Amino acid sequence: DGGITQSPKYLFRKEGQNVTLSCEQNLNHDAMYWYRQDPGQGLRLIYYSQIVNDFQKGDIAEGYSVSREKKESFPLTVTSAQKNPTAFYLCASSILTGTGGRGYTFGSGTRLTVV
Amino acid sequence: SQQGEEDPQALSIQEGENATMNCSYKTSINNLQWYRQNSGRGLVHLILIRSNEREKHSGRLRVTLDTSKKSSSLLITASRAADTASYFCATSSGNTPLVFGKGTRLSVIA
């Protein structure tokens, strides 16, 4: 079955440490996205990519970095510059960026906690 | 930037009742979408309504869109305990990613 896989499900980060969240899709979608979800604040866009080797900053890109070397993969690195990284991170993909086509397909999320 | 704002923030109903959630947005849109999120999970796409449509149905879901008022509503008929989740509206404008609201938490009591 086609889908989008995020790993790990839970991740613990120490102060000053960089961590990478994985997102892989086999839906042949061109566009991929990273959202952050905090309680009561809905989803906020971190980065998105419409095509391989290209990506754009979202509303809250500071302290995060991404790469898009393959169509299937869009990993997110939470750097030590992100001062409040504890949150639920959601990866999504879609056929079209703007219209949303048939909607976004989301992964099951990664819960990141600073220890 | 948050485009859609759902109302109410939380809703509690008895099983079998209808649940209505509203979404307001600020700028012109290509389409508006509704998603569901079970606790601790990813979002699931429910339904998409284009800016030139006024109403759309899918099973027990009914979505309306009023572009003059920049608002949409999601009606879930004959609610079930399994409908308990958070519901988000998301708007699409131009060639940019979806912008999500803060969601409505629906509790359906058996």
pLDDT digits (tens, 9 = 90+) for B78-88: 999 999 999 99
Quickly state the pLDDT bin for B6 (edges 50, 70, 90).
confident
Give the pLDDT score at B2. Answer: 54
Residue of B45, B88, B102 with shortest CB distance to A40: B102
B103: closest chain A residue by CA: A42
Q: What is the pLDDT of residue A97?
A: 57
**Considering only CB atoms, which chain A residues are within 8 Å of B2?**
42
pLDDT in tens, A60-78: 999 999 999 999 999 999 9
Over residues B66-87, mean pLDDT = 97
Mean pLDDT computed over A9-28: 94
Residue B37 per-residue DSSP state = E
Q: The dihedral of CA A108, A114, B3, B7: what is its sign? A: positive
The answer to whether A91 and A4 have CB atoms below 8 angstroms apart is yes
Residue A99 has pLDDT above 70, yes or no: no
Number of residues that make up chain A: 115
Q: Which of B1, B93, B106 is nearest to B46 (CA)?
A: B106
Judge whether B96 is closer than 8 Å to chain A, CB to CB.
yes
Q: Are the C-beta atoms of residues A46 and A35 closer than 8 Å to each other?
A: yes
